[in-house]
Amino acid sequence: MKYAQDISDSTQEIFSSMVMLDVSSGEPFKRDDSKLINSISGIIGLAGAVKGMLAIHLPNEAAMAVTTAFLGMDVEEIDEDVCDAIGELANMLGGSMKSILDPAGSEIQLSMPSAIHGEEYAVDCLTDSESVTVPFEFNGQTFMVELQLSQG
């Protein structure tokens, strides 16, 4: 699946250098439109030569563990700090993928990152897009990084 290795490499690099967690990637897949349950998603939009989004989807427990490692403070609920941290991870991942998709840096723009969370929600961006999702694991926790793209 196109870009799966780039997603894996970028995610592992960002998590090891910024979050101080070693994550391992699993087999890439195409995520269906099933709802995310008790999760938080950090999302960043791409516009220009390609359109789409990059999202990081974490179950609440994984999101709190990542935020604890990232900010160096104990987190016990999904709050503004968790939303900010997951949004910032989406921003870093989006920036990394932008440099791969647009080496010159002038063809693709990134949106401001956002974070959504809840007991049950769906994230769907483009109906006619290429899509790849890479699962990750750390310390018994799992999360996914999803990329949806269509040519501009």
Specify the CATH number for the domain of residue 109.
3.40.1550.10
Cβ partners under 8 Å of residue 29, min gap 6? 1, 132, 133, 135
Residue 27 counted as domain residue: no
Residue 84 has pLDDT above 90, yes or no: yes
Residue 29 counted as domain residue: no
pLDDT band at 127 (very low <50, low <70, confident <90, very high): low
Q: Provide the number of structural domains found in the chain.
A: 1
pLDDT (mean) for 133-139 = 97
Range of the domain at 123: 4-21+34-151
Cβ atoms 136, 11 nearer than 8 A: yes
pTM of the model: 0.94
| More confident site: 105 or 64 | 64
